[in-house]
Structure 1
Amino acid sequence: MPIRARHRSRPQRNSGPLSARLRAMYRAMLRALGPQGWWPGRNRFEVIIGAILTQNTAWTNVARAIGNLRRARVLTPEALAALPAPQLARLIRPSGYYKTKAARVKRFLRFLRARYALNLSRMFARHPSTLREELLAVSGIGPETADSILLYAGGVPVLVVDAYTRRILGRHGLIRPDATYDRVQALFLENLPPETALYNEYHALLVAVGKDFCRPVPRCSGCPLRRDLERHRPATARGFLRIKTRY
């Protein structure tokens, strides 16, 4: 799916009930939780490596792995490309699946060298749609990782769709259970303005709500999106509020 950035192929509505609802949800989360300050990283390359390492693990584990790379003074495209894969795997061990992730990092670096001579400025000068397709062609980089790289390292206004996003939107009746990644993403891209800061903060807030409130066993008490659920899906809200939890 082409990224709706710079030149958008789909018309943006940015008005109407769905747009108003998405904006209201954003304001409610921001008011209750405050700015989240994502993405943690000192530079674009560090953000890219973090986006690859964070697959199937918590950011705290990634931070330890990134710290190891910093202390080893290899957190540059040139140094990491020259580092043997076994050494890279040892350094990123805290992130889990370290051999697999080391191979993914190496494949990304081979792509970066072959296409852009290890130059990130040249890479991000590429049109977002083209760059996204190139990233997706790198084995081990899926839509979520590619969009994290585009948004947080490249400043491209695109929403990252993760498990938290799907769970929240599904429970609020905004997507079907079988909605594709592209369909979920289009819900935002077609109804919100193309602002990088907005998508950055929106994704971070959805993650915070998913971690603390919209868990597999929902914890609706105190959730900043509870009013939206009660207004648009009252039967679902009543069902969730009857669930007894230990939280």
Structure 2
Amino acid sequence: MVGAVLTQHTAWTNVERALLRLRERVALDAAAILTLAPDDLAEALRPAGYFNVKARRLAAFCAAYLTAGGFTGLDALPTDRLRHTLLAIHGIGPETADDMLLYAFERPVFVVDAYTRRIFARLGLLDAQADYESIRAAFETALGPDAPLFKEYHALLVRHGKERCRIRPVCPDCPLRQDCPGATA
């Protein structure tokens, strides 16, 4: 869940560097993270970018996590209530909350990220300006409540978005090119 907070607006490779620096200082658990002074936490998170903001967000998450009874306390909540609880934490938005729900709590909640929006907008299957909740609901309705499927689907979208459907797409060898109205020469 720490990674979900840190990956906001940054590449995973930078998050890994920040996690390594954080692990050099404390264990990766909420109570240990909260023992760090705010400046020390921010310095550990420097590679993840926006490190002062992320330090405040991570501290807020860790405090709320402990107050809620840790993983066991949060996991006992029904999915809708757990999502609402996560969204109430400073700095936790829908994508981060859904990432935690799917990957940490194994709940069938689809994660909508920039890759999802870009790929499906280029394919002409969604309006890139559609709101997060309507996109999430559409995926969940189309795929049915299946956490392992959502994880696999999301991972494939991330991979395709990084390898082919980048901001500047690499269309010539794309397996979706035939069906993609957004494909370039």
TM-score normalised by length of structure 1: 0.71
Q: Deviations over 1:73-122 (max 9, x none)?
A: 33112111222211111111111111110000111122123232xx2111
- Residues 92-107 of structure 1 aligned to structure 2 (within 5 Å): 92-107=45-60
| Higher RCO (C-alpha 8 Å, min separation 6) | 1
Whole-Å Cα distance in 1 between the matches of residues 165 and 3 of structure 2? 25
In structure 2, the gaps of 5 or more residues are: none
Whole-Å Cα distance in 1 between the matches of residues 172 and 50 of structure 2? 36
2:14 to 58, 61, 68: 61
**What is the CA RMSD across the aligned residues, in angstroms?**
1.4
The runs of at least 4 consecutive aligned structure 1 residues that moved more than 3 Å come to none
1:212 to 2:163 alignment: yes
Equivalence for 2:145 = 194
Equivalence for 2:124 = 173
Q: Which moved more, 1:194-203 or 1:140-149?
A: 194-203
Whole-Å Cα distance in 2 between the matches of residues 49 and 163 of structure 1? 20
Whole-Å Cα distance in 1 between the matches of residues 87 and 155 of structure 2? 23
Q: Please give the secondary structure, in 2, of the residue aligned with 1:191.
A: helix
Q: Look up the equivalent residue of 2:34 and give its one-letter code.
A: A
Q: Deviations over 1:135-162 (max 9, x none)?
A: 1111211101000111111111111111
Contact residue 31 and residue 66 of structure 2 kept, 8 A: no
Q: How many residues are treated as equivalent by the alignment?
A: 185
Instruction: Decide which structure has the larger Cα Rg and report it.
Output: 1
In the TM superposition, what is the alpha-carbon distance from 1:219 to its structure 2 partner?
1.8
Contact residue 83 and residue 97 of structure 2 kept, 8 A: yes
Whole-Å Cα distance in 2 between the matches of residues 61 and 133 of structure 1? 29
Q: Look up the equivalent residue of 1:188 and give its one-letter code.
A: F
Q: Please give the secondary structure, in 2, of the residue aligned with 1:141.
A: coil
In structure 1, the gaps of 5 or more residues are: 1-47, 230-235, 243-247
Whole-Å Cα distance in 2 between the matches of residues 215 and 144 of structure 1? 19
1:85 to 2:28 alignment: no
Q: Deviations over 1:50-82 (max 9, x none)?
A: 000011111001001111222223311211122
